[in-house]
């Protein structure tokens, strides 16, 4: 039996698993891209359920009915989220006006730059006596760029924000369906637990897996909420010193983007720097503002975030960067914000999958890779000894 088992492990056919896994992952990614609104809706509902689960169970232990406990928590969540969205949209009207003015300023600046380049080119051609100068004198048409005034959220920015959500009506519909699905999941929590327990080969680990998922999700959102509230006054003061318009909305957006690991260093200062450049046409001030925003992100990400989140999320920088780019390509802005908690959930599932290659993949995603690999090797030796 041992010889047969060893021959199966050393067989070359086991390497066929790699292309099979690659094809399966590719097909699943295609499905996530095509049916993005559905998967985003289900994933957000699952995360909200995991986030509220400790308070839900605490209310039930106090003797409150399941229905009442779920309704209270869902209503509180909806009020908090709706209040944040209303506050952001209420103050974003000035930003939209500023963006329209910025587009006009950039268009005028572009035309002036083109005129300067054309004058320099004409001077060089007249000195060289080239045929190009003669063609320009004879009246050959000069290519022109026309700037069409439209939505400030058009083009690449608007496509990125709307990616994964469809149109505005679809996003609004799923926003109302999100708490409804979470409510039903909370009511059916016990029934779902029994189903997964009966269908799992390792039912004793299901409670641990669910607890780890809840800890990672709550650590990410609560930790980033504290970071958001802490960095908001810092960005307000910074933008006030640089005399930026609509500082409250820009500070809200910068604090939100600052919660994105690594990529947030680029996104946090991009919009404030561009708006400052359009207001003052001072490239030096815009560059300094961008550097200050990137420095704030660096300090928060490297000194404050580890103290708050600790090792509860437990994803290293390389895995986080790859997953942020991958989920943003699949789900746009929503994927950009949810990349870390989704990856943390997937990593926990891989750790408890029982498959050697999947466990090693989870170890490669961890912060302390060497420790995870040693634990995996020790677990394998114990399993083989049995």
Whole-number percent of the chain with pLDDT over 90: 19
Interior angle at CA 115, CA 106 and CA 275, nearest 5? 10
Phi and psi of 323, rounded to 5°?
Answer: -70, -35
- Rounded to two decimals, what is the model's pTM? 0.73
Token code pair at residue 270: 């991009």
pLDDT of residue 188: 92
Token code pair at residue 72: 């209270």
Interior angle at CA 332, CA 328 and CA 338, nearest 5? 60
Lowest mean pLDDT among 38-47, 161-170, 222-231: 161-170
- Would you tell me the crossing angle of helices 36-61 and 206-241 to the nearest 10 degrees? 110
> For the residues of 101-120, what is the DSSP string, one character each?
HHHHHHHHHHHHHHHHHHHH
pLDDT tens figures, 266-295: 888 888 888 888 777 778 888 899 999 989
**How many Å apart are CA 185 and CA 191, to the nearest integer?**
10
Model confidence at 12, pLDDT cuts 50, 70, 90, reads low
Q: How is residue 165 annotated by DSSP?
A: T
Lowest mean pLDDT among 72-76, 93-97, 377-381: 377-381
> For the residues of 12-71, what is the DSSP string, one character each?
GGGGGHHHHHHHHHHHHHHHHHHTHHHHHHHHHHHHHHHHHHHHHHHHHHTT--HHHHHH
Token code pair at residue 274: 């561009």
Residue 202, Cβ neighbours under 10 Å: how many? 12
pLDDT of residue 227: 86
pLDDT of residue 14: 62
Distances in Å between the Cα of 131 and the Cα atoms of 66, 90, 121, 127, 142 are 84, 58, 13, 11, 15
Domain ranges of the chain: 35-126+154-199, 218-313, 315-386
Model confidence at 229, pLDDT cuts 50, 70, 90, reads confident
Token code pair at residue 159: 């496509």
3-state class of 305 per DSSP? helix
């Amino acid at each position: 039996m041992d010889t047969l088992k060893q021959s199966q492990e050393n067989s070359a056919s086991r390497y066929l698993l790699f292309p099979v896994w690659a094809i399966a992952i590719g097909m699943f990614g295609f499905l996530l891209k095509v049916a993005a609104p559905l998967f985003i809706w289900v994933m957000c509902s699952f995360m909200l359920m995991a986030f509220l689960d400790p308070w839900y169970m605490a209310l039930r232990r106090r003797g409150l009915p399941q229905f009442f406990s779920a309704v209270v928590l869902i209503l509180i969540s909806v009020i908090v989220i709706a209040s944040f969205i209303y506050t952001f949209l209420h103050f974003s009207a000035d930003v939209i006006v500023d963006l329209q003015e910025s587009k006009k300023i950039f268009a005028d600046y572009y035309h002036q730059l083109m005129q300067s380049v054309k004058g320099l080119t004409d001077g060089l051609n007249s000195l060289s006596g080239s045929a190009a100068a003669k063609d320009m004198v004879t009246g050959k048409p000069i290519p022109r760029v026309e700037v069409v005034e439209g939505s400030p959220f058009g083009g690449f920015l608007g496509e990125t924000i709307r990616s994964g959500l469809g149109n505005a009506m679809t996003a609004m519909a799923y926003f109302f369906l999100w708490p409804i699905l979470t409510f039903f999941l909370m009511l059916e929590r016990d029934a779902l637990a029994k189903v997964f327990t009966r269908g799992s080969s390792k039912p004793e680990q299901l409670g641990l897996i669910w607890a780890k998922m809840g800890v990672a999700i709550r650590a990410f959102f609560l930790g980033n909420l504290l970071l958001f509230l802490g960095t908001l006054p810092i960005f307000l003061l910074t933008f006030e010193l640089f005399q930026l318009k609509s500082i409250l909305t820009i500070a809200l957006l910068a604090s939100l983007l600052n919660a994105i690991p690594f990529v947030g260093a680029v996104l946090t200062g991009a919009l404030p720097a561009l708006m400052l450049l359009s207001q003052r046409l001072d490239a030096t001030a815009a560059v300094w503002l961008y550097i200050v925003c990137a420095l704030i992100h660096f300090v928060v990400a490297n000194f404050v975030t580890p103290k708050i989140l600790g090792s509860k999320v437990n994803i290293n920088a390389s895995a986080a960067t790859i997953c942020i780019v991958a989920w943003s390509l699949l789900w746009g802005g929503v994927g950009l914000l949810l990349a870390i908690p989704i990856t943390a959930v997937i990593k926990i599932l891989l750790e408890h999958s029982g498959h050697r290659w999947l466990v090693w993949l989870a170890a490669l995603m961890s912060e302390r890779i060497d420790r995870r690999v040693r634990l995996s090797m020790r677990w394998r030796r114990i399993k083989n000894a049995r």
